[in-house]
Chains A and B, each alone.
Chain A
Amino acid sequence: MFEVPSVADLNVAASLPVTLLALGACVFLLVDLFIPQDRKYITAGLAAGGMLVALVLALLMWGDVIELRDGDTAFSELFIADTMTHVVNIVVLITGLLGVLVAYNYLERTKIQRGEYYYLILFTTTGVMLMGGANDLAVVFVALELLSIPLYILSGFRWPQEESEESAMKYFLLGAFASSFLVYGIALIYGATGTTSLPGIWEAVNDIVAEDAASKYLLLLGSGLALVGLGFKVAAVPFHMWTPDVYQGAPTSVVAYMSVAAKVGGFAALIRVLVAGMPNFVLDGETVAAWQDTVWLVAALTMLLGNIVAIAQTELKRLLAYSSIAHAGYILIAVAAAGTASVADEAVRAVMIYLMAYAFTNVGAFAVVIALEKDDATNTGLDSVRGLARTNPLLAAAMTVFMLSLTGIPLTSGFVGKWFVFKAALSADLVPVAVIGVVTSLVSAFYYLRVVWLMYFEDGESEASTPWPLASAIGISVAGTLLLGFVPYLLSEMTNDITLAFGG
């Protein structure tokens, strides 16, 4: 009953970037042993180099420079390398690179310089890339764990310090708790459809819907639990409680990377499982996917609570934590919009565009927080920003660009993301949630503007240290935010031919 898969099935070439990076990470694991403590920058260099190679590969594969049959599957249909996978690879590799750049001096300064940091980042990136291309529930689960466990360690990286430990423990406990929900969900889905491979599930769902079999309740329950597990990862509201504490406790360079990577992984999973796996899961008497209303309500809840609570925050990292919750809400709108069959592709593209735009802005914002942070990891309160425009005009200008992009002011990538998400929502007739989205982004204007107002209108003496790697990271993020804002063509072109292999 078990035969050895032929080499053609394996087709490792399709998943080159992922496999390359995974091997690289393991090699660096070994190589790092031989690098003395004071020359840890070599590991950083190697990690960055590895990611750069993977990025170049991903770009080439996206551009069909390397000939391979599109939508090709590897590892006997466990992994699929379609355009969406490449886009996810590009986004997460860029975030990884920025994460390394940002962490380079920070670790030195706050005396937590250890080689493990870099290849833990590599492992997380591999996890996200794997999730991007998951074509089977098993791979989804494994990728999720591969993505989460290094993050638990990373958030506890400054372990002698209480906060960091506490945030790691919280993150770990709740992470494990939530992933067990996911597993149980997968089990039930498997129970209902009889297979764990997503195309298989897709056909099974067609039959279930056609015969209106009893197993549809099992399927509903399973997808609900899977939604809980992934909702936690993406920090949607009912499961968001961990985010503020973990973001505040963990070292800022980790948070910078984690806030984007975890989201990209979470949303890739949601798209693979819900949108690719069960788009046709339509109960009788309805036109849209069964799970659309739930996702839609969770999105609304996330936006409302994320934005409103952010207003009362007085600590910068906590404020950015709630803002990242709010932005998860905006992306969830697009995921909900994907429920309507006709709008699925447009909605998925909107998710990817938003993630790309969000990556640059958020990493940039946290990079500025790192620049402000003192060596003993304090001074991240809101008034650490007061009067920055006088002491360090360039940094203040960069922070303003990030804040405007998070608010969604035009000519910044944030606006482009919101434009596409709201457009997808409107074409899927989700008008109420679009209105909530618009109103909450008005609310968000208030607390983002407060940061700008503290920097420019008030005067205080806030000084910031920007060594060259951090400065270049901020430079790249600002360039990315403005470039994507000025020329959204890049984004729309990149995501233009994302079609879920077996959708429609």
Chain B
Amino acid sequence: MGDISLVSLVFILPLLGVLALIFEPLFERQTNEQAIRWLTLGVSLGTFGLSLLMLNNFDTGVAGLQMEHKIDWIEADGFTIRYYVGVDGISVWMVMLTTFIMPLAILASFGPIQERVRLYYIFLLLMEWAMIGVFIAQDLFLFYVFWEVTLVPMYFLIGIWGAEERIYAAIKFFLYTMAGSLLMLLAVLWLGNEAGTFTLPEIIEQIQTGELSLGTTTERWLFLAFAIAFAIKVPMWPLHSWLPDAHVQAPTAGSVILAGILLKMGTYGFVRFNLPLFPEASKTFAPYIAGLAVIGIIYGAWVSYGQKDVKKLVAYSSISHLGFVMLGIFALNSTGIQGGILQGVNHGISTGGLFLMVGMLYDRRHTKLMAAFGGIWKAMPLFSGISLVIVLSSMGLPGLNGFVGEFTILLGSAGSEILSWWFTAFAALGIIMAAIYMLYMFNTVFMGELDKEENRNLPDLNWQELWSLIPIVVMVFVIGLQASIFFDLMDESAEALAAPYVANPNAEALVELNTGDVELAVALWAISGAVIGVVVTPIIYSGRGRNPWSGGLVGAAAGAAGNLLLLVPLWVYTPALEVDEHALPATSEAPGD
């Protein structure tokens, strides 16, 4: 409790910034927008400075929490909720990413944002405050509070300063994420009840010492509740359809923050909550979540190749990149986890850069359709040079940051004891498809003839835009060439986190026996669903006067997906189906639940 830890300072500063912005008009007659802009930039840079300070007295040898700060917040009967913050190997880079990206987003919105400036920057600083809160919270209640609070400013950012269909996108973004998080609320309450406390380290310690052993079914339901909330945020493949709306309609800074940091809250959630709290369930679900991740990689890359709108292309590319991150995390070994976290940081930097780039194009030509561009390299050489570096980094060119993350993830998933090598092979396909859609975008926008009249004399970068891109280029090279700085900060914590999954000698036997026959049954079940879909949909389609055959495919997909969804409760409730109880020596006292 003693001295105020650095982590709390980093956390408090943006809030002070917000208060300054709110009460600033009292001291000043007429509001001059320049002062507001510089004040906000100053606050966010201050936060970045503080976080650098925090970084250099981060002790790499310690696996657990550092620079903790604990104040009792609510004492109700039986449990106390604390303002308990701390940072460890897993969350240090997430905080750094947040404090790094925010100044850039603020700087980049100096130009485009002209109306209701004060409100805009209040929401930006609120976002920063809430996001840092999410990454440093060590108390379930505190985490949930900040998790929800990040929704409100982003809702306004998209809603007020967004593009044409901003209202629809804002509402959809809010409701989609809130649906997931309400599920998590129940899980948090249930877990709190079972463990008697809401402090995360205590619960993890209880679970590790076996003092608190949830039955397999409860553990699975809790795992699923948390997983769905985070999967929506990541976004994992089937739950991704809010992403294109939110990204395309958000203002530049909004989509930079959305892609840069908000998506990482999902992956961070998996690492912080699902892996340590529910070891058995993580082991059982890992292949299926990794499977969804790989589908996400391929689906994201393939769909972005089919896009005509450059911002949508970048949005779908995020799905592909985060598929990699999820694959890394659910390889359940320390390489995979560290690769996943680093790739999260890389994605934040490169996709942040991409969105800034798209924003700058949009400010000049007010269109996002790729067909309207061509030969920009000749018109704006400086801008194109920097964009080339960012495109290459997001494509995973070795020597830049994208590659290091992807390579470590593939390394982790190849050596993972849970995932068969098929996952690594298909994920590696993602590298090719990444090149295809990225180069397609670079080609149509930057290369080719400068034949359109409007593109001829586009102004090159002004100083704000330049200085919001330069740090990104610098970080691309720093991480690309010196990744070990990043790894040795994460190493201790990741190793501790991955310990339960690696140590179990017969994990293979466990998974081998069970995934084999289950996969067959699941496949048959899905196919039968698809067959029904194929038969049923044409009837519906023809009924509504559309040509029946087009429905066939859609029907098949819907049928298969429907059946698979039916499966989830089925196998959660039937521990008998799992052979693991017998194959596994009774790690927890009570075999089964």
Q: Which of A's residues lie within 8 Å of B, judged by CB? A: 345-346, 349, 393, 404, 409-411, 415, 419-420, 422-423, 426-427, 431, 434-435, 438-439, 441-442, 445-446, 449, 453, 456-458, 487-489, 492-493, 496
In the complex, what residue of chain A is closest to B156 when comparing beta carbons? A456
> Considering residues B72, B148, B192, which has the most beta carbons from chain A within 10 angstroms of its beta carbon?
B148
CB distance from B414 to the nearest CB of A (A): 40
User: What per-residue 1/0 map shows which CB atoms of B148-162 lie under 8 Å from chain A?
Assistant: 110110011001100
CB distance from A476 to the nearest CB of B (A): 18
B73 in contact with A488 (CB, 8 Å) = yes
B186 in contact with A422 (CB, 8 Å) = yes
Instruction: List CB contacts (< 8 Å) of B150-193 with chain A.
Output: 151-152, 155-156, 159-160, 166-167, 170-171, 174-175, 178-179, 182-183, 185-186, 189-190, 192-193
A419 in contact with B141 (CB, 8 Å) = yes
CB distance from B348 to the nearest CB of A (A): 24
B178 in contact with A438 (CB, 8 Å) = no
B453 at the interface (CB under 8 A from A): no
Q: List A contacts of B175 (CB < 8 A).
A: 442, 445-446, 449
Q: Tell whether A441 pairs with B182 under 8 Å between CB atoms, given A423-B189, A426-B190, A426-B193.
A: yes
A489 in contact with B74 (CB, 8 Å) = yes
The 6 closest A-B pairs by CB, nearest first: A410-B145, A438-B182, A492-B76, A410-B148, A457-B159, A426-B189
B182 in contact with A442 (CB, 8 Å) = yes
Besides the known contacts A426-B186, A456-B156, A488-B74, 12 further A-B residue pairs in the complex with CB atoms under 8 A apart: A349-B76, A404-B152, A409-B151, A410-B149, A411-B145, A415-B145, A419-B189, A438-B185, A453-B170, A457-B167, A488-B73, A496-B76
B145 in contact with A423 (CB, 8 Å) = no
**Which residue of B171, B190, B193 is within 8 Å of A453 (Cβ)?**
B171
Q: List B contacts of A393 (CB < 8 A).
A: 119
In the complex, what residue of chain A is closest to B158 when comparing beta carbons? A457
B170 in contact with A457 (CB, 8 Å) = yes
**Which residue of A410, A431, A449 is within 8 Å of B144 (Cβ)?**
A410
Q: Tell whether A434 pairs with B186 under 8 Å between CB atoms, given A423-B193, A457-B160.
A: yes
CB distance from B124 to the nearest CB of A (A): 16
Contacts A/B (CB < 8 Å), 7 sampled? A410-B145, A419-B185, A423-B192, A426-B193, A453-B170, A456-B160, A496-B77
Q: Tell whether A409 pairs with B148 under 8 Å between CB atoms, given A449-B171, A453-B170, A456-B160.
A: yes
Q: List B contacts of A453 (CB < 8 A).
A: 159, 167, 170-171
B186 in contact with A438 (CB, 8 Å) = yes
Q: Tell whether A438 pairs with B75 under 8 Å between CB atoms, given A419-B141, A445-B175.
A: no
A427 in contact with B76 (CB, 8 Å) = no
B182 in contact with A439 (CB, 8 Å) = yes
CB distance from A404 to the nearest CB of B (A): 6
CA distance A382 to B409 in the complex (A): 52
CB distance from B331 to the nearest CB of A (A): 33
CA distance A423 to B119 in the complex (A): 35
In the complex, what residue of chain B is closest to A493 when comparing beta carbons? B75
In the complex, what residue of chain A is closest to B80 when comparing beta carbons? A492
CB distance from A497 to the nearest CB of B (A): 9
What class of interface size applies to chain B in its complex with A? 35 or more
A456 in contact with B159 (CB, 8 Å) = yes
CA distance A488 to B175 in the complex (A): 25
B189 in contact with A409 (CB, 8 Å) = no
CA distance A445 to B151 in the complex (A): 12
B76 in contact with A420 (CB, 8 Å) = yes
CA distance A320 to B189 in the complex (A): 28
CA distance A131 to B63 in the complex (A): 57
Q: List A contacts of B167 (CB < 8 A).
A: 453, 457-458
In the complex, what residue of chain B is closest to A390 when comparing beta carbons? B116
Q: List A contacts of B73 (CB < 8 A).
A: 487-489
CA distance A426 to B72 in the complex (A): 23
Q: List B contacts of A492 (CB < 8 A).
A: 74-76
A427 in contact with B193 (CB, 8 Å) = yes
CA distance A349 to B75 in the complex (A): 13
Q: List B contacts of A441 (CB < 8 A).
A: 182
In the complex, what residue of chain A is closest to B191 when comparing beta carbons? A426
B74 in contact with A449 (CB, 8 Å) = no
Q: List A contacts of B152 (CB < 8 A).
A: 404, 409
In the complex, what residue of chain B is closest to A489 when comparing beta carbons? B74
Q: List B contacts of A458 (CB < 8 A).
A: 167
CA distance A435 to B189 in the complex (A): 12
**Which residue of A346, A420, A422, A431 is within 8 Å of B185 (Cβ)?**
A422
> Considering residues A393, A410, A435, A439, which has the most beta carbons from chain B within 10 angstroms of its beta carbon?
A410
B186 in contact with A435 (CB, 8 Å) = yes
In the complex, what residue of chain B is closest to A422 when comparing beta carbons? B189
Q: List A contacts of B74 (CB < 8 A).
A: 488-489, 492
CB distance from A465 to the nearest CB of B (A): 22
In the complex, what residue of chain B is closest to A425 when comparing beta carbons? B189
In the complex, what residue of chain A is closest to B78 when comparing beta carbons? A346
CB distance from B545 to the nearest CB of A (A): 31
CB distance from A352 to the nearest CB of B (A): 12
CB distance from A460 to the nearest CB of B (A): 14
Q: List A contacts of B156 (CB < 8 A).
A: 456
CA distance A434 to B182 in the complex (A): 11
Q: List A contacts of B178 (CB < 8 A).
A: 442, 445
CA distance A473 to B141 in the complex (A): 30
Q: List B contacts of A423 (CB < 8 A).
A: 189, 192-193
CB distance from A424 to the nearest CB of B (A): 10
CB distance from B185 to the nearest CB of A (A): 6
Q: List B contacts of A442 (CB < 8 A).
A: 175, 178-179, 182
CB distance from A406 to the nearest CB of B (A): 14
Q: List A contacts of B192 (CB < 8 A).
A: 423
Q: Tell whether A438 pairs with B148 under 8 Å between CB atoms, given A426-B189, A489-B75, A496-B76.
A: no
CA distance A364 to B81 in the complex (A): 28
CA distance A442 to B179 in the complex (A): 6
> Considering residues B75, B78, B145, B175, which has the most beta carbons from chain A within 10 angstroms of its beta carbon?
B145
**Which residue of A410, A431, A434, A496 is within 8 Å of B75 (Cβ)?**
A496
Q: List B contacts of A456 (CB < 8 A).
A: 156, 159-160
CA distance A113 to B135 in the complex (A): 55
B174 in contact with A445 (CB, 8 Å) = yes
CA distance A327 to B182 in the complex (A): 17
A345 in contact with B170 (CB, 8 Å) = no
Q: List B contacts of A431 (CB < 8 A).
A: 186
CA distance A438 to B181 in the complex (A): 10
CA distance A409 to B155 in the complex (A): 13
Q: List B contacts of A345 (CB < 8 A).
A: 77
CA distance A423 to B160 in the complex (A): 36
Q: Tell whether A438 pairs with B183 under 8 Å between CB atoms, given A423-B189, A453-B170.
A: yes
B76 in contact with A449 (CB, 8 Å) = no
User: What per-residue 1/0 map shows which CB atoms of B123-157 lie under 8 Å from chain A?
Assistant: 00000000000000000010011101101100110
In the complex, what residue of chain A is closest to B190 when comparing beta carbons? A426
Q: List A contacts of B75 (CB < 8 A).
A: 489, 492-493, 496
CB distance from B166 to the nearest CB of A (A): 7
Q: List A contacts of B183 (CB < 8 A).
A: 438
Q: List A contacts of B77 (CB < 8 A).
A: 345-346, 349, 496
CB distance from B186 to the nearest CB of A (A): 6
CB distance from B230 to the nearest CB of A (A): 17
CB distance from B475 to the nearest CB of A (A): 32
Q: List B contacts of A445 (CB < 8 A).
A: 174-175, 178
Q: List B contacts of A409 (CB < 8 A).
A: 148-149, 151-152
Q: List B contacts of A420 (CB < 8 A).
A: 76
In the complex, what residue of chain B is closest to A393 when comparing beta carbons? B119
In the complex, what residue of chain B is closest to A429 when comparing beta carbons? B193
CA distance A456 to B148 in the complex (A): 20
CA distance A401 to B144 in the complex (A): 19
Q: List A contacts of B174 (CB < 8 A).
A: 445, 449
Q: List A contacts of B78 (CB < 8 A).
A: 346
Q: List B contacts of A411 (CB < 8 A).
A: 145, 149
In the complex, what residue of chain A is closest to B174 when comparing beta carbons? A449
Q: List A contacts of B119 (CB < 8 A).
A: 393
> Considering residues B72, B73, B74, which has the most beta carbons from chain A within 10 angstroms of its beta carbon?
B74
